[in-house]
Amino acid sequence: MRGFLHLLPSLVLLLTRLLTLVHAQFQEESPPTTTTTTLGFTNASALYVLGDSTVDCGDNTLFYPLLHARLSLYPCNGSDSSLLPQLLGFLGEKARSKKPPFCLLFSIAHLLFDGFTHVLWPLVERCEKMGLPFIRPFYGQNGSLDEVISGLNFGSTQATIMSKDSSSHQSLSQQLRQVSDTLQLLQLQLTEDIALHFTKSSIFFLSFGKEDFIDLFLHNFSSQVFDQSTAHDFPTMLVNQMTNAMRYLYDVNARKIICLGILPLGYTPHLAWLCNQTSLLVGGDDDNGESCVDEANKLVLEYNNLLYEHISMLNVEFTDAQIVFCDVYKGMMQIINWPKLYGFEDTRSACCGLGLNSAMIGCISLDGACEEASTHVWWDLFNPTHAVNSILADAAWSGLPFSGLCQPITIHELVSKNF
């Protein structure tokens, strides 16, 4: 995988299906109307994705994985052999015969294909059968109008909400600038009315925050003391930035926006292991690091709840738009609390990694991966398995197998809206 098993390791199943059910094929000479689409699926023109490792396998990350601080291989193309992430372009020509990355984003995309079973068919084959192009990474497109109107993925592995100096990945603000450049291209090459309609009917998908919290937690763990003063205002700062980002997208005429929350990072194999080690180092209490795990999850939950509150207020303010919040935390807790109900046996160990519970070092070789990844909740240090992502994508798309993952409506309902 070019980075992590994105949680939005369940985003590409929802993304690919988002691409066919959601994707009304655009024709400049005959612009789509608000009541019909070329293929008769939905009222969405294209899908534009912004985010971190939950949506990017490394295509948009310069010098990946050489400058990737938490290298962990993930089989983006679904093969069983060791992979060099920088050579695995899910949207590249060499990946056309491969399976899509097992990440949440691709799981979401997969669900957008109407009339297909939930078996992982090659992403390209599905797009070709539907007569649709699939989205390319921003740095993988040539700037032509045909590629831009097919949708783009601006996401970058290890991208953060808070801007920081880095030549290897793009922060939220940098990705927003790329979106602005893209929409300006549409305005230059299309008529104003067509460009406006196209933008309003497209889906804008945001998945950020995971990398910010991981950086915060790892910094605190390295000092062996969780600095409450540093963490206290952290969720609020991140949510304010995300709110500004959604306002910016609205100002450039985005009207259909999906925003993902963050999974319970305290339960990820690496952070759970670090919590246990920190507990032993600072006094050896008897809770095996559970209080540390709870503190980490509490901060993430605070961020998710605050983000949902801000999105609810934006929905009231923007009467001609719809922003959907998908609570990945809630979905993950359903699975972690009742694993056998969803077919899982191991909620602690990573499927691929080294050390205790395969949680000390990331997946450096797929040869060492577990034989049955589908029975594990976690793939590597911080990412769920494809089986988990598939369940989350189903819930985000249709409200099943558990309801309320996305609020105030499902992604399927968002895709069908007219603005």
pLDDT tens, residue by residue, 355-385? 999 889 888 877 888 999 999 999 889 888 8
Bridge partners of residue 384, in order along the sequence: 378
Position 225 scores a pLDDT of 54
Residue 167 and residue 62 in contact, taking contact as beta carbons nearer than 8 Å: yes
How far apart CA 78 and CA 399 sit, in angstroms, is: 27
How far apart CA 113 and CA 295 sit, in angstroms, is: 39
CATH topology classification for 12-415: Rossmann fold (3.40.50)
User: At which residue do the structure tokens 């290298």 appear?
Assistant: 71
Where are the chain's structural domains? 12-415
Position 13 scores a pLDDT of 47
> 339 preceded by cis ω (within 30°)?
no
Bridge partners of residue 205, in order along the sequence: 49, 258
Position 375 scores a pLDDT of 95
Position 56 scores a pLDDT of 72
**What is the rounded radius of gyration, in angstroms, for the C-alpha atoms of the chain?**
20
Count CB atoms within 10 A of the CB of residue 286.
7
DSSP 7: B
Position 341 scores a pLDDT of 96
Position 114 scores a pLDDT of 38
Bridge partners of residue 258, in order along the sequence: 205, 324
How far apart CA 133 and CA 16 sit, in angstroms, is: 10
Position 234 scores a pLDDT of 93
> pTM for the full model?
0.79
Position 393 scores a pLDDT of 85
User: At which residue do the structure tokens 């259909």 appear?
Assistant: 256
Residue 117, classed as helix, strand or coil, is coil
Position 417 scores a pLDDT of 87
Strands (E), 300-417: 322-326, 346-350, 376-378, 406-407
Residue 368, classed as helix, strand or coil, is helix
User: At which residue do the structure tokens 């979106």 appear?
Assistant: 179
Q: Which of 99, 96, 126 is nearest to 23 (CA)?
A: 126
Residue 395 and residue 401 in contact, taking contact as beta carbons nearer than 8 Å: yes
How far apart CA 110 and CA 113 sit, in angstroms, is: 6
Residues 6+ apart with CB under 8 A from 16: 100, 106, 107, 108, 109, 110, 111, 112, 113, 123, 126, 127, 134
Position 367 scores a pLDDT of 82
In tens digits, what is the pLDDT along the chain, a chain of 419 residues?
A: 444 444 444 544 444 444 444 333 333 333 333 333 333 345 778 889 899 888 776 666 655 444 455 656 555 443 332 222 222 222 223 223 333 334 565 555 555 543 322 222 233 333 333 233 467 888 888 888 888 888 888 988 788 998 765 555 679 999 999 999 999 999 999 988 999 999 999 999 999 999 999 989 888 776 655 556 667 789 999 999 999 999 999 999 999 999 999 999 999 999 999 988 876 554 555 556 688 889 899 999 999 999 999 999 999 999 999 999 999 999 999 999 999 999 999 999 999 988 999 889 888 877 888 999 999 999 889 888 888 888 888 888 889 898 999 999 998 899 888 87
